[in-house]
Amino acid sequence: MLEIRDLHAYYGKSHILHGVHLSIDEGEIVSLLGRNGVGRSTTIKAVMGQVKSVGSIRFKGEELLGLRAHEIPHRGVGYVPENRDVFPSLTVRQNLLLGEKRRGVKGRWSVEDLFILFPRLRDRADTVAGVLSGGEQQMLTLSRTLMGDPELIMIDEPTEGLAPKIVEQVAALLGEIKNRGVAVLLVEQKLNIALKISQRLYVMGHGKIVFEGTPVQLKENTAVRKEWLEV
């Protein structure tokens, strides 16, 4: 579904990604792990056309590099940034409706589906998003992106700073996303979450992929964990 090959990315004169390779199949959860500053978020931003990049990023056979950033979501790629962007002056329900792919076209997700998954959003449906807690805003950002009916959703640090109960809800949602046939690329710091829900994992260091394998293989590879993941 997603094929990244020899990807290089730059912020000005700073060379951040150095030949990244990565692939995701349909309906698969893949985690991208690594310490802060190694290029994980930049990889996602490169897919979304938000940073200067060279190489190849193909989605369902179509080259994404060269497309404008606003065109990429229309190809079926969803993105949940780390900073939990919401429209603060709009209600929860209005935020969700803004995420709809096309009015009148039924996708995999409805507002009611997401209210069932996140009952707190139903309770806050008519509350403006700017007064929500961090956990509630994360639920809303995830849910609004799903309203666009993506075939691949890329999520940057969804559990950062969240209470354990909310982390469990987010993990359950990721499983439900997969069950509905949507592929997930997850950037995550919490190794236990990634090992629990992923089919495959990549570890990044210094702007390159330094490990690719299954959760079992990563658990068994003490050297990779010690050098690239553990503090």
Q: Measured between alpha carbons, how far is residue 94 from residues 1, 76, 133, 134, 226 in Å?
A: 31, 22, 17, 18, 45
Tens-digit pLDDT profile for residues 101-110: 765 566 788 9
Tens-digit pLDDT profile for residues 171-226: 888 888 898 899 999 998 888 889 999 999 999 999 999 999 999 999 999 999 99
Burial 196-211 (b: 16+ CB within 10 A, else e): ebbbbbbbbbebebeb
> Quick one: CA dihedral 157, 220, 172, 162, positive or negative?
negative
Angle at 184 between CA 224 and CA 100, to 5 degrees: 155
Confidence at residue 105, expressed as pLDDT on a 0 to 100 scale = 62
Identify the CA nearest to 152 among candidates 6, 9, 44, 19: 44
> Does 135 score more than 90 pLDDT?
no
CATH code for the domain defined by 2-228: 3.40.50.300
The domain locations on the chain are 2-228
Angle at 73 between CA 93 and CA 12, to 5 degrees: 115
Residue written as token pair 């290029």: 39
d(CA 122, CA 7): 41
Checking DSSP bridges between strand 29-33 and strand 183-187, what pairing results, if any? parallel
Provide the whole-model pTM: 0.91
Tens-digit pLDDT profile for residues 87-121: 999 999 999 999 887 655 667 889 999 999 889 99
Tens-digit pLDDT profile for residues 21-57: 999 999 999 999 999 999 999 999 999 999 999 999 9
> Does 68 score more than 80 pLDDT?
yes
Question: What is the SS3 assignment for 146?
Answer: helix
